[in-house]
Chain A
């Protein structure tokens, strides 16, 4: 039985097996290559997407659970937002492979805490590994996007 969901605001029906990973459905069926596979076991967060507003690792989610779900990938985020501008300006992206997941983690964090403290930012990103930045420039970008100083 096909699974029906909304991806980045558009209805999508997948006839892949219910055990298919959401990650593969997004990358292969929907050609949404912004969602990355870093480890395939839910540790790195490179494949993070929003499901009904919640941050999840799409490599751990079977398609069968996505019936009527609202899914947002990095391609569904606005290209020109305060967050996007801050990420570029503050040096929050280096190699960029973790960046889509980080953008979604930051989006989820800011939805919950419009003005997060540094501690809240740290915990909000703790499921997303970045090997390049040491996280400091990402904290700065999120703080700046939230209207605070970039100097956290």
Chain B
């Protein structure tokens, strides 16, 4: 970091070694769960409820079908507890009698022939007595007489700072809005799946596509009633996850294991089709935010008042933690003396919503950032200027009562983003363009935000992560941790951190396969925590290992790979196994009160300003993103190419959220557009240029000052794009995705007399 406190910008391609998983992936030799050998195995499938909750009265197996060569599992075959282990034991593994949503598993079938299995699925009928009035809407759930759970409320949080009434008295300009974000599908290209085998000694081995092997292990322990020493969970190459493989793999693993237990020693592969995956696995929580902002005439925020509610679906699953992150991020990176955020996660009869990159923050940040533009408009102030007046600086007090330290670069990201995009110049150009009656309108919009990395509050303390380094006799080192490579580059980044800390070339360090029989629990691979929290543990373990090699095996103060190998050999000869372990300790000042939302919520925040330039066709009302600029301060980019890929990919998902991705629900609360034909994610032809600027202040809690980066890019695109479209068309937008149909309802702009219409007549 320079003396002035401005973070440095550097060449994004320096220090970026080849990905350790690159060769296997480009040659097609990496084995995903559906590719794993399964000789003599069976395929599994799931019979599910059709109604949006109700009572299961009977299961009828077609007597015309010969069921003798099928493995059939129902709830009564569960040896342990019939509940998927997570925050609360409210979600059943298999429905016995009551159920809450369409798509709950009732019967599991396995057969050697996939086609026969497909036929059999249709020969199992469920007699369901449906709920008379299922609930699918957030406000309906809050007001409904019918209760899915008491009050239809999973969680009710309140973040309260200062005095809202005082803020209202001081405010000279006030805006009020209701803003909504929809469900969003993670759409990892590899559908979910698991392979289960009962081994000769009766132990069970589960292999599959997953983010959190210890979540799966804990779920198996509970459901199967087995000791964890007789269960083994191994991650296969995972074809994308984005949060979507955080909790649901536990369900599929339980199902596959139950089938395998009855399959007479034959392995069972349970792979979801795309449609099944879309219909039943968790998506991003839909949200509804009532927001009021007040400022004085100079634009200084006087109060922020938000009622933030998310649809948790039919079971609690991860909703409380999604909500808490959403609440903490809701007031944005702004200084405001009076803040009230009420957050509620409500129960509906949708399938449960779950983790998706950003985890509640993209929803509440969307509301705050769109509202900021509304406030700017009412103040007659440039949106960038309004943000500049209110962005946090070191020494300010954050919404959670934390005094912001030196690691605050909100202003730097705004300055760089405005300069890089020639924001003010383009603002003027677009104004001229829009006044000239062209067949398109253009706009440039921004969002400023911060994203906290790691588990919220005391979460990391509760996780108590452990990482080990194992010295191999020939001088190689193996990293043992439970964090998974799912495309984000963790395998490469963690090896890079270890190699650097040990002073070894990267090919001397391996990341052990994620196998719960070998690796300690270093926590789940979520919350932008892997590089920052686990990377830091790896660095600490490396320091410990070097100390041991110096003390017990005469590793010289200055050494090369050969000296290192020799010392490893001596350590092995003297002590046998050579394993060091590092345990998590919270950073100094990491105090958090979960009741009052008071204290330091995250070890580090990354800061960002995202700017979108858009063009809207006045005739078709289609929006095209001309270019997108993502400026973020991330502490330190351990592997700049991987970081750039994370940000570009996150921005693309955010642009999909803003413009294309719409989950349509049928009358039973199931995703109706359950195909890639009609759930639209961005293709290469849809996306404009994405410019990534990395700023490094070097003050994050991770190795060399790195901060978590994975989720950050999901937060900014939707509000930046919406703000740009609002400016282009001079309208107010209250929801995403901004489809042409929505604009048609809102839009006062009429196609010009000439232009596209004239061209059409000439055909």
Interface residues of A (CB under 8 A from B): 27, 32-41, 43-44, 46, 73-75, 77, 79, 84, 87-91, 93-100, 103, 121-123, 125-139, 150
A100 to B28, CA, bound (A): 6
Q: Does B22 contact A (CB under 8 A)?
A: yes
How many A-B contacts are there with CB distance less than 8 Å? 165
Residue of B with least CB distance to A133: B649
Additional 8 contacts, C-beta under 8 A, given A34-B27, A88-B26, A131-B240:
A79-B27, A88-B18, A93-B25, A121-B684, A130-B649, A131-B186, A132-B487, A136-B690
Contact residues in A for B190 (Cβ distance below 8 Å):
36, 38, 95, 97
Cross-chain contact A94 with B487 (CB below 8 angstroms): yes
- On B, residues with C-beta under 8 Å from A are 13, 16, 18-19, 21-32, 34-35, 186-191, 237-242, 273-274, 486-489, 641-642, 644-645, 648-653, 675-677, 681-685, 687, 690
C-alpha gap A41/B191 in the complex (Å): 14
B34–A39 contact, CB under 8 A?
no
B483 to chain A, nearest CB (A): 15
The chain A residue with its CB closest to the CB of B185 is A131
Query: B22 contacts which of A74, A93, A97, A129 (Cβ < 8 Å)?
Result: A93
Contact call A40/B273, Cβ cutoff below 8 A:
yes
* A/B interface sample: 5 pairs, CB < 8 A: A41-B677, A88-B22, A91-B489, A135-B687, A150-B13
Residues of A within 8 A of B650 (CB): 134
A134 x B690 contact (CB < 8 A): yes
B641 near A73 (CB under 8 angstroms)?
no
User: Contact check: which of A98, A122, A133 meets B648 at CB < 8 Å?
Assistant: A133
Q: Check A93 against B239 for contact (C-beta < 8 Å).
A: no
Given known pairs A36-B32, A129-B681, the reply for A74 and B676 (CB within 8 Å) is no
Contact of A94 among B24, B27, B488, B690 (CB under 8 A): B488
Contact partner of A129 (CB less than 8 A), chosen from B30, B32, B189, is B189
Measured between alpha carbons, how far is A97 from B190 in the docked complex, in Å?
A: 6
Query: Using Cβ atoms and an 8 Å threshold, which residues of chain A touch B191?
Result: 38
Q: Are B34 and A91 in contact (CB under 8 A)?
A: no
- The one of B16, B187, B486, B685 that contacts A126, using a Cβ cutoff of 8 Å: B685
Smallest Cβ-Cβ distance to B686: which chain A residue: A126
* Distance to closest chain B CB from A85 (angstroms): 9
Instruction: Please state if B487 and A95 are interface contacts (CB–CB under 8 Å).
Output: yes
Q: Which residues of A contact B189 (CB under 8 A)?
A: 36, 38, 44, 46, 95, 97-98, 129-131
A91 touching B21 by the CB < 8 A rule?
no
Residues of the B chain whose Cβ atoms lie less than 8 Å from the Cβ of A44: 189, 676
**Contact among A34, A46, A74, A93 for B19, CB-based, below 8 A:** A93
**Chain B residues within 8 Å of A135, by CB:** 648, 652, 684, 687
A136 CB contact (under 8 Å) in B26, B186, B645: B645
Is there an interface contact between A87 and B240, defined as CB atoms closer than 8 Å? no
- Do residues B238 and A136 form an inter-chain contact, with CB atoms below 8 A? no
List chain A residues, Cβ under 8 A from B687. 134-135
Query: B239, A96: Cβ atoms under 8 Å?
Result: yes
Q: Contact between A137 and B641 (Cβ–Cβ < 8 Å)?
A: yes
With contacts A36-B190, A40-B274 taken as known, whether A134 is within 8 angstroms of B34 at the C-beta atoms is no
Check A34 against B28 for contact (C-beta < 8 Å): yes
C-alpha gap A129/B186 in the complex (Å): 13
Q: Are B30 and A96 neighbours in the complex by a CB distance under 8 Å?
A: yes
Of the listed residues A91, A100, A103, A123, the one surrounded by the most CB atoms of chain B closer than 10 A to its CB is: A91
Instruction: Give Cα A31–Cα B191 distance, bound, in whole angstroms.
Output: 20
The answer to whether A88 and B19 have CB atoms under 8 Å apart is yes
Among A79, A94, A136, A138, point to the contact of B489 (Cβ < 8 A): A94
**6 interchain residue pairs of minimum CB distance:** A34-B28, A95-B487, A97-B239, A96-B25, A134-B652, A134-B648
Residue of A38, A96, A139 near B487 (CB, 8 A) is: A96
Residue in A closest to B647 when the chains form the complex, CB atoms: A134
Cβ B28 vs Cβ A73 within 8 A: yes
Tell me the minimal C-beta distance from B378 to chain A in angstroms.
Answer: 34
Instruction: Please give, as numbers and ranges, the residues of chain B lying within 8 Å of A32 by CB-CB distance.
Output: 28
The listed residue (A74, A122, A130, A139) touching B28 by CB distance below 8 A is: A74
- Return chain B residues, CB-CB under 8 Å to A139: 684
Give the complex CA separation of A38 and B677 in angstroms: 12
Residues of A within 8 A of B22 (CB): 87-88, 93
- Hey, which chain A residues are within 8 Å of B677, CB to CB? 41, 43
Report how far A98 CA is from B189 CA in the complex, Å: 7
Report which of B30, B237, B649 forms a contact with A131, defined as CB distance below 8 A: B649
- A126 B684 Cβ-Cβ under 8 A: yes
Q: Nearest-CB distance from A147 to chain B (Å)?
A: 18
Q: Which residues of A contact B27 (CB under 8 A)?
A: 34, 74-75, 77, 79, 84
CB distance from B65 to the nearest CB of A (A): 23
- Closest residue of A by beta carbon distance from B237: A96
* Chain B residues near A34 (CB-CB < 8 A): 27-29
A91-B676 contact, Cβ under 8 Å, with A35-B28, A96-B30, A134-B651 = no
User: Complex: how many Å from CA A77 to CA B28?
Assistant: 10
> Are A99's CB and B675's CB within 8 A?
no
Contacts of A77 in B (CB 8 A): 27
Closest B residue to A123 using CB positions: B685
Question: A133 → chain B, closest Cβ, in Å?
Answer: 5
CA distance A44 to B278 in the complex (A): 14
Nearest Cβ distance between residue B465 and chain A, in whole angstroms? 24
Which residues in B have their C-beta under 8 angstroms from that of A75?
Answer: 27-28
Q: How far is the CB of B90 from chain A (nearest CB, A)?
A: 30
Q: Which residues of B contact A40 (CB under 8 A)?
A: 273-274
Query: How far is it, in angstroms, between the C-alpha of A43 and the C-alpha of B675 when the chains are bound?
Result: 9
* Residue of A91, A97, A125, A132 touching B641 (CB-CB under 8 A): A91
Contact A43 B676 (CB under 8 A): yes
Residues of the B chain whose Cβ atoms lie less than 8 Å from the Cβ of A137: 641, 644-645, 648
**Within the assembled complex, what's the spacing in Å between the Cα atoms of A73 and B27?**
10
Q: Which residues in A have their C-beta under 8 angstroms from that of B651?
A: 134
For B682, list chain A residues within 8 Å (CB).
134
